[in-house]
Amino acid sequence: MKVLRLLAIAALVGGAVSSCSQPVGQIGNLPNRPQLIVDDSVAPDFEALARETWAQFLDVFQARSDCFGDVHLHATRTLDSRAAYDPDTATVTVRVPGTPAMLQSALVHEWAHHVEFQCEEQRELRRAFLVAQGLPPDTPWRPDDVSVEMPTSEWAAIPSEQYAEATVALVLGGRPIPTKARITQEAVHVIEVWAGGD
| Residue of 180, 176, 177, 184 lying closest to 158 (CA atoms) | 180
For residues 110 and 85, the answer to whether their CB atoms sit within 8 Å is yes
Q: Which pLDDT band, with edges at 50, 70 and 90, does 119 fall under? A: very high
pTM: 0.82
Q: Who wins on pLDDT, 12 or 138?
A: 138
pLDDT band at 59 (very low <50, low <70, confident <90, very high): very high
Higher pLDDT, 6 or 152: 152
Report the mean per-residue pLDDT for the chain. Answer: 84
* pLDDT grade for 32, boundaries at 50, 70 and 90: confident
